Amino acid sequence: MSILTTTLAGIGEQTVQEVVAIASWTSFQVKLRENLHMMSAIIAMALPLVLLASPVGAQTLTVPLKIEGPRIFVTVRVNDKTARLLVDTGSEITLVEPQFAKGTIELKRANIQQQTGIMQASIRELSVTLGELTLKDLVVGVLDMTDVKRRTGTSMDGLLGEDILRRFRSVRINFKDKTLELER
């Protein structure tokens, strides 16, 4: 007979089983608390590292910017021709001047909302290269930008819109280094 059973012999078998069950439960609770404290400490140390780490395989494309007052421009290639586009997060679609779409087929016509009203754009599939990334068969609007250039007083070949920016997990404008940082 165990020491516990001998000591509790006069109390009765059911009470001894209850005492053993309580002792086991208490031992389990103590071990659980110890493990929870250790797990909490590990999580507390690891969480900042997890939150700060970039996703596995994340790549950042860095593209030079030209900042002119409140306007930000990026140089891209549209159908192998150099184009200066105004970065426009309010434009749902990238727009370029007709000279970049020569030799391509119009897919359809679409209304494009401009500050001066609604204009008709020719929708086409063009190749746009931004830094080292080439987006082939990108659906863009082709529109005479004369009115936009006159209103803004700037020289540009089009607008870099949300359709391109939304392809990235994160878009950062680094004013100090004058770069557009696009994370995939």
Task: Round to whole Å and give the CA distance between 146 and 86.
Answer: 14
CA angle 53, 162, 94 (to 5 degrees): 135
Task: Round to whole Å and give the CA distance between 65 and 121.
Answer: 26
Class of domain 60-183: mainly beta
For 130-141, how does the pLDDT look when each residue is reduced to its tens digit (9 = 90+)?
A: 999 999 999 999
Instruction: Report the candidate in 52, 44, 63 with the shortest Cα–Cα distance to residue 179.
Output: 63
Amino acid at position 55, single letter: P
For 12-50, how does the pLDDT look when each residue is reduced to its tens digit (9 = 90+)?
A: 565 556 655 555 656 656 665 666 556 565 555 554 544
Task: Round to whole Å and give the CA distance between 25 and 29.
Answer: 6
More confident residue, 14 or 123: 123
Q: Give residue limits of the domains in the chain.
A: 3-52, 60-183
Tokens of 11: 């109390």
pTM of the model: 0.66
